[in-house]
Amino acid sequence: MLQWNLEALDLTLRYTWKISRNASDLKTNLFVTVGDGRVQGRGEAAPNVRYGETPVLLQEQFAALQANGIDQVASVDELQHLMGQHRVLPALRFAIESAFVHYLCRKNNQTVTEFLGVQPVSSAPTAYSYPIMEPGKIAAFTQEHGLHRFEYLKVKVNQESGLDMMTQVAKAAPQQPLMVDANEAWQDPDALMRFFESLKKLPIIMIEQPLPSALQDEYLYLKKRTPYDLYADESVTDHADWELLQQQFHGVNMKLMKAGGYLNGLSILQKTRAMGLKTMIGCMMETSMGIWSALQLAHNVDLLDLDGMLVVKDEPFKLVREEAGRLYPVEQP
Of the pLDDT bands very low, low, confident and very high (cuts 50, 70, 90), residue 257 is very high
Could you tell me if 20 and 147 lie in one domain? Answer: no
Is 255 in the active site? yes
**Three-class SS of residue 87?**
coil
pLDDT at 37 over 90: yes
pLDDT tens-digit map of 202-223: 999 999 999 999 999 999 999 9
Q: Which helix (H) or strand (E) holds 13?
A: strand 3-18
Among 88, 22, 100, residue whose Cα is nearest residue 60: 88
Q: Which of 75, 96, 115 lies at the terminal end of a domain, its last residue?
A: 115
Give me the domain span that covers residue 217: 118-329
Given a cut of 90, whether residue 21 has pLDDT beyond it is no
Q: Is 53 known to sit in a ligand binding site?
A: no
- The domain that holds 28 is classified in CATH as 3.30.390.10
pLDDT at residue number 287: 99
Pair (110, 126) in one structural domain: no
Annotated ligand binding at 217? The verdict is: no
Catalytic residue chosen out of the listed positions 156, 200, 224, 278: 156
Question: pLDDT tens for residues 68-112?
Answer: 999 999 999 999 999 999 999 999 999 999 999 999 999 999 999
Do 223 and 140 lie in a common domain? yes
Q: Write the pLDDT tens digit of every residue in 158-206.
A: 999 999 999 999 999 999 999 999 999 999 999 999 999 999 999 999 9
What average pLDDT does range 141-154 have in this prediction?
98
Question: What's the rounded Cα separation, in Å, for the pair 179 and 127?
Answer: 9
CA distances from 68 to 76, 81, 172, 191 (A): 16, 12, 54, 51
What distance in Å separates the CA atoms of residue 233 and residue 53, rounded to the nearest whole number?
Answer: 17
Considering the domain architecture, whether residues 257 and 301 belong to the same structural domain is answered as yes
Q: Please pick, among 154, 201, 223, 255, the residue that the annotation labels catalytic.
A: 255
pTM of the full structure: 0.97
Average confidence (pLDDT) over 111-139: 98
Assess whether 97 and 122 both reside in one domain. no
| In the predicted structure, residue 252 carries a pLDDT above the cut 90 | yes
Instruction: For residues 255 and 246, give the distance between their C-alpha atoms in angstroms, rounded to a whole number.
Output: 18
Number of domains forming the structure of the chain: 2
Q: Write down which residue in 115, 137, 167 finishes a domain.
A: 115
Last residue of a domain, one of 115, 135, 159: 115
Banded pLDDT at 272 (limits 50, 70, 90): very high
Question: What value does the mean pLDDT take over residues 250-275?
Answer: 98
Q: How confident is the model at residue 22 (pLDDT cuts 50, 70, 90)?
A: confident
Looking up residue 275, the CATH number of its domain turns out to be 3.20.20.120
Let me know: does 158 contact 125? Beta carbons within 8 Å: no
**Claim to verify: residue 216 and residue 67 sit in the same structural domain:** no
| Predicted confidence (pLDDT) at residue 118 exceeds the cutoff of 90 | yes
The verdict on 123 and 80 lying in the same domain is: no
Strands 326-329, 320-323: pairing is antiparallel
How much is the average pLDDT of 19-40?
96
Give the pLDDT of residue 238: 96
Instruction: Tell me: is residue 307 an annotated ligand-binding position.
Output: no
The reply to whether 56 and 195 lie within a common domain is no
User: Active site includes 18?
Assistant: no
- Mark whether 139 and 66 lie in a shared domain: no
Are residue 132 and residue 250 in the same domain, yes or no?
Answer: yes
**Quick check: 200 and 226 in contact, CB under 8 A?**
no
Tell me: do 98 and 129 sit in the same domain: no
Can you tell me the mean pLDDT for 264-278?
Answer: 98
The rounded mean pLDDT for the chain is 98
- Does residue 228 sit in the same domain as residue 142? yes
